[in-house]
Structure 1
Amino acid sequence: MNLLLAGIEPTVPTSEAVAWRYLSVIGEMEFEGHHVVTLRLPAVWDDCFLPLKDCLSQKWDAVVCLADADSESIEVERIAINETDVSTKDRSGRRPRGKVIVPDGEPGYWSTLPYRELALQLTNAKLQASGSHSAGTGLANFVFYRMMHALSVSERRLSAGLIHLPERRFEEEKAERFASVLVSCLDGNREPEDSLKLNLDRIQARSGVQPRSR
């Protein structure tokens, strides 16, 4: 599998951008049978999508954007919307308010990541995670939407989407687990698990009922 991971710098610069720290850790990892490339995107509206746009034409099986968020868990975003509306200026002084991202674009694009399974597998790996129905209207959503629009126009079919990372909860070991789960879930040769499957043993254990012998 060929996987591209693009980390988006926070609009308000911090000394330790979590998305970029994740990229640093993942860039040092080896994934047997997989080619993983990392890319950093600047927090400037006019430039943030350009590095990713230049790479999209290459033969990727999956493209995932990573961004910082003020959240308690990893959030696998479900949809990118065609609107930008922020209250803070970027480094060049731009502050889009109520702007359409692509005038002739769709109102929104669904993520093509297996977001339910990703959230499930990350949780199983003891990483707090959930699916999210709103990527906001900031820079991360802007890049997410532009990416999905470009893939739609070019009729490219691959796994692509955005994942928000808790900005105050970076640990190198967690970044390694996150990467391992991501690669495993996006591996096209792997038989996907049913994300809605119930773990009956876990439910029975919580209720005090002994699991039946098989």
Structure 2
Amino acid sequence: MILLTGFQPFGGETTNPSWTAAGGAAAVLRAEGHDAQAVELPCVFGESIEVLEAALERYGPDVVLCAGQAGGRARVSLERIAINCDDARIPDNAGNAPVDEPVVPGGPAAYFSSLPLKAALAALDAAQIPAEVSQTAGTYVCNHTFYGLMNVLRLRPKTRGGFVHVPYAAGQVLRGSGTPSLPVELMTEALAVVVRTALAVSADLKLAAGATH
């Protein structure tokens, strides 16, 4: 079973392409014969993990792919690592703005994604979808949720999970502004590609996709 998640709009936006893409990818995967569900998460510290944990209990997935919006990025970002730190530059949708607080008190400094990121990157490149391996998921609700997911999955060793950031959707940016964006249809296919790769690949590829800064 496959669980995909996206977020509610935040920061004054009226849409969040991560949720549109997650719902679309679940539909695509179901049409291919997979058991897939999509769940919308609140953009709220704490609550996002609670809703995610409830979905994990309800569906018992084998693969979990959470998605969030990273406005300003030009590529679909396959997140490598979640850190145990909440440091909000802007309040969440409930007005919370934690600074230098742990996601899980006493938890490890970080968790790594258990998805085959390099193989997914190769598959996205083959599909001509702009993608990258990202070394930071930020310190906002996306990283918070990613860390919470991996903290839960440490007790579910048969379940693989991780996080993907998507750019703004084309309709969210002003034409000619220079702000990067992608069509939602491309983001939808990107999430489906990542899931298909996770289902097909057990050992990840050795492929250079690091960063110098």
TM-score range, shorter chain: 0.7 to 0.9
State TM-score, norm by structure 1.
0.82
Shift of 1:161: 0.5
TM-score (norm 2): 0.82
Q: Distance in 1 between matches of 2:107 and 2:22?
A: 30
Q: Unaligned regions of 5+ residues in structure 1, if any?
A: 199-214
Aligned-residue offset at 1:25: 2.2
* Aligned counterparts of 1:143 and 1:197: Cα–Cα separation in 2: 27
What whole-Å deviation, never above 9, does each CA across 1:80-103 have from its counterpart, x for those lacking one? 100010121123221000111111
| Residue of structure 2 aligned with 1:181, choices 184, 193, 201 | 193
Q: 1:68 to 1:197 in 2, by over 3 A?
A: closer
Which residue in 2 is equivalent to 1:201? none
* SS of alignment partner, residue 2 of structure 2: strand
| Cα pair distance change 1:83/1:194, threshold 3 Å | closer
C-alpha separation in 2, matches of 1:69 and 1:135: 9
Q: CA 1:89/1:194 → structure 2, altered by over 3 Å: closer, same or farther?
A: closer
Return closer, same or farther for 1:126/1:102 CA change in 2, 3 Å cut-off.
same
* Deviating more after overlay: 48-57 vs 68-77: 48-57
Matched residues in 2 for 1:139 and 1:32: separation? 31
Flag structure 2 segments of 5+ consecutive residues without an equivalent. Answer: 170-180, 209-213
Summarize the Cα distance change of 1:15–1:64 in structure 2 as closer, same or farther, 3 Å threshold. same
Over aligned residue pairs, what C-alpha RMSD do you find?
Answer: 2.2
Deviation per residue, 1:112-146 (Å, 9 max, x gap)? 01011111111110110011111111100000001
**What's 2:32 paired with?**
32
Residues 18, 170 of structure 1: 8 Å contact kept? no
Name the count of aligned residue pairs.
Answer: 194
Report the AA paired with residue 134 of structure 1: T
| Preserved CA contact (<8 Å) 1:25 1:175 | no
Report if the CA contact (8 A) 2:2-2:61 is conserved. Answer: yes
Q: CA deviation at 1:49?
A: 1.5
- Secondary structure (helix, strand or coil) at the match of 2:22 reads helix
Q: Which has the larger radius of gyration?
A: 1
Match for residue 178 of structure 2? none
Larger mean Cα displacement after TM superposition, 58-67 or 167-176 = 167-176
Of residues 11-20 and 126-135 in structure 1, the stretch that sits farther from structure 2 once superposed is 11-20
Q: Deviations over 1:7-44 (max 9, x none)?
A: 12344141221101213422433343311100000112
Q: Report the alpha carbon displacement of residue 108 of structure 1 after superposing the two structures with TM.
A: 0.5
Report the counterpart of residue 112 of structure 1 in structure 2. Answer: 114
Identity across matched positions, percent? 27
Which letter does structure 1 place at the counterpart of 2:186?
Answer: K
Tell me the SS of whatever aligns to 2:144.
Answer: helix
Relative distance call for 1:156 and 1:56 in structure 2 (3 A) is farther
CA distance in 2, matches of 1:31, 1:25: 11
Give the conservation status (yes or no) of the 8 Å contact 1:73–1:166: yes
